[in-house]
Chains A and B, each alone.
Chain A
């Protein structure tokens, strides 16, 4: 013990060591490896060699820019919809949940007890051309007989929204729940009506939760391929589908790897811009 006390910095590093080791083995090394793969040339049949072919980034971007932009668009829209759905939900649980808080929170994560794949397939059934939604709607003449939901961007975005909802709800709940009721009373006391109280106190104080929730939703949503695969069509493919395709179906490893890095760069750029817009000072405002 005394040795650690005399060398506190070494003790700190030792505590960090397992985490750093884990990151090195399971993140840093595969990332470097994948980067090298993206610079290979060759084919699955004849084998690959490392040729430092940076040109692949330009050609991959050129060839798949539609899917990249579509991914960001779908991911962004789904994030927006999860936010719109989650905020009132989290607000209700945090401020009106009372003794049912824990049950309500459990219900939010309850779908996770079923496999992601299974839940997405069940949306396929719900959206089916003559399924439980469109079937009766067509009978009643609310929509034309040829109307489809499945294999449209609407279905893909709806699926992503559904699947990532808890990732938005939980951070929002945590942020809202932390707001002391006395702050809301103070706002009212200082002439803020319901809207002003929300706008000036509740929302700014919930910003860290909004930030965490949007990142937790947006980042995986952009890279998602299951929803587009099961609920979409070839015309609504996302970049995740392309990457999966390159690796698993056509064994075009360099393009798949390059697209992975392009996606990562795009997400990093989007998050950076977002963080600047929301304002880092606002985010730390809740603390010291």
Chain B
């Protein structure tokens, strides 16, 4: 798991006036499930296509297994691709589709037969070999595309939004299946998607891309729990952000003063040198208490008034408004209060409290990169997660 399989060095791709990929440096480890996550137009697909050899970088270097492949055509790279719309050959049977790569590499007939059978079994499509692509469903076509790529035992498998055309239920099922297959074959997967759930469900690591660069790279829980930019915080789910400035330390925590001089605590490492920051917390980390209740020692506390209550089954979503007009989203699991039929009602005054350890800081809105992120940010604060 520690050797580097794919390395991108300062890779840039310019289309006319548009910088699609902007000086990206990336190292994907051997056997890793790596995702490029971002909104459409962020450069994730272009990055993938450059690794596959379908686009040449304007500048930069691409290495596979330590070998420079920047200028090699796709058919000379030990990489295979699962295309967005599968791109199965309609004039060939499923068997011949899957065997295509082996035939081009002049593998012997008997071996092809055995390996195709083995692959069709892996993707659970035994008995489909003589059908044509027009005679199978979207989910099955997806599996054939996967088998057709994997049979060549590439060093890296590239997947370009492979589940995009499937309905939600099938997509969920295929996510687990892809993960299973990836673990079974042990091949490095580089997966492009705009769906954060999909990326988090399957990936070992994710690079969250925006405007031709990745803003943060890490394990799914790192990105979710401790996003470093406004864009990442918003893209991976709902979050509450409050502007403030660093104002001293206490124990292992930094203190951040909000506009109304309320102070919040968060791990020192989160602020690392910056002064203007935005303090964030995920809605499910926050507990709601009566104003008279005891607050756990050292916890962050903010007061507010319940503005909206939405019961969603698993949890209840509250929108809380602070006295200065800032709104907060809070998810509360439906435990005692739901059973006792005493959900918080609009108008009630509450104390919102959460652990300093669940608090993160993103770079302040005054810096250039977060100003960028803010305009493209899909879901900060009030937007519900999908």
Q: Which residues of A does B touch, CB under 8 Å?
A: 180, 182-183, 185-193, 196, 200-201, 204-205, 207, 282, 285-288
Chain B residues near A190 (CB-CB < 8 A): 75, 80, 100-101, 104, 148-149, 152
Stretch at the interface among B83-91, B120-128, B174-182, B326-334: B83-91
Sampled A-B contacts (29; CB under 8 Å): A180-B85, A182-B83, A182-B87, A185-B74, A185-B87, A186-B83, A186-B88, A188-B54, A189-B74, A189-B75, A189-B79, A189-B81, A190-B75, A190-B80, A190-B101, A190-B104, A192-B100, A192-B104, A193-B73, A196-B104, A201-B89, A204-B91, A205-B91, A285-B90, A285-B132, A286-B90, A286-B91, A287-B90, A288-B132
Known: A183-B87, A185-B87. A288 touches B134 (CB 8 A): yes
Interface residues of B in 101-117 (CB under 8 A from A): 101, 104-105
Q: Which residue of A191, A200, A286 contacts B75 across the interface (Cβ within 8 Å)?
A: A191
**Chain A residues with CB under 8 A of B92:** 285
Q: Is B212 interfacial (CB-CB < 8 Å)?
A: no
| Cross-interface CB contact of A285 among B52, B79, B91, B148, cutoff 8 Å | B91
The number of chain B residues with a CB under 8 A from chain A is 28
Count, A-B residue pairs, CB within 8 A: 73
The residue on A at minimum CB distance from B104 is: A191
Query: Which residue of A is nearest B77, CB measured?
Result: A189
Within 8 A of A (CB), among B44-99: 52-54, 73-75, 79-81, 83-85, 87-92
For A207, the chain B residues whose CB sits under 8 A away are 91
Residue of B nearest to A205 (CB): B91
Q: How far is the CB of A224 from chain B (nearest CB, A)?
A: 33
For A196, the chain B residues whose CB sits under 8 A away are 104
**Among A185, A201, A285, which residue has its beta carbon within 8 angstroms of that of B83?**
A185
Residue pair B83, A191 in contact (C-beta under 8 Å): no
CB distance from B102 to the nearest CB of A (A): 9
Interface: B262 (CB within 8 A): no
List the A residue with the shortest CB-CB distance to B84. A182
B81 to chain A: closest residue by CB: A189
Closest Cβ of chain B to A110, distance in Å, is 32
Partner of A183, one of B89, B134, B135: B89
Cα–Cα, bound, A143→B105 (Å):
50
- In the bound complex, what is the Cα–Cα distance between A187 and B52 (angstroms)? 12
Contact between B90 and A205 (Cβ–Cβ < 8 Å)?
yes
Docked-complex contact A189 and B52, CB < 8 angstroms: yes
Report how far A193 CA is from B149 CA in the complex, Å: 17
Which of chain B's residues have a CB closer than 8 A to the CB of A285?
90-92, 132
Smallest Cβ distance from A95 to chain B, in angstroms?
Answer: 15
Known: A185-B74, A288-B134. A191 touches B89 (CB 8 A): no
Kindly list chain B residues whose C-beta atoms are within 8 Å of the C-beta of A187: 89, 100
- From the candidates B75, B91, B105, B135, name the one contacting A188 in the complex (CB within 8 A): B75
How many angstroms from the CA of A190 to the CA of B81 in the assembled complex? Answer: 9
The CA of A185 and the CA of B81, in the complex, are separated in Å by 9
The answer to whether A288 touches B135 (Cβ under 8 A) is yes
A185 and B149 alpha carbons, distance in the complex (Å): 13
Q: In the bound complex, what is the Cα–Cα distance between A286 and B91 (angstroms)?
A: 6
Is B91 in contact with A191, judged by CB distance below 8 angstroms? Answer: no
Report yes or no: A186 in contact with B104, Cβ–Cβ below 8 A.
Answer: no
A180 to B85, CA, bound (A): 10
Distance in angstroms from A140 CB to nearest chain B CB is 45
Inter-chain contacts of B101 with A (CB < 8 A): 190-191
> CB distance B90 to A186 under 8 Å?
no
Most chain B beta-carbon contacts within 10 A, residue among A182, A201, A207, A282: A182
Contact residues in B for A200 (Cβ distance below 8 Å) = 89, 100
Given pairs A185-B87, A193-B75, A288-B134, 16 additional interface contacts (CB within 8 A):
A182-B87, A183-B89, A185-B54, A185-B81, A186-B83, A186-B87, A188-B53, A188-B74, A189-B53, A189-B75, A189-B80, A191-B105, A200-B89, A285-B132, A287-B134, A288-B135
Give the CA-CA distance A180 to B88 in the complex, in Å: 10
Of the listed residues A183, A187, A191, the one surrounded by the most CB atoms of chain B closer than 10 A to its CB is A191
Q: Which residue of A185, A205, A287, A288 has the most chain B CB atoms within 10 A of its CB atom? A: A185
Interface contact B85-A192, CB-CB below 8 Å: no
Distance in Å: Cβ of B87 to nearest Cβ of chain A: 4
Interface centre among A188, A189, A288 (most CB of B within 10 A): A189
Q: Which residue of B lies closest to A197 (CB)?
A: B75
Cα-based distance from A183 to B89 in the complex (angstroms)? 7
Taking a contact as CB atoms under 8 Å apart, the answer to whether A186 and B75 are in contact is no
CA A190 – CA B104 in complex, angstroms? 7
Residues of B near A287 (CB, < 8 A) are: 90, 134
Q: Which residue of A lies closest to B74 (CB)?
A: A188
The 3 closest A-B pairs by CB, nearest first: A285-B91, A190-B101, A182-B87
Distance, CA A288 to CA B91, complexed state (A): 10
Smallest Cβ-Cβ distance to B78: which chain A residue: A191
Q: In the assembled complex, how far is the CB of residue B104 from the closest CB belonging to chain A, in whole angstroms?
A: 4
Q: Are B135 and A186 in contact (CB under 8 A)?
A: no
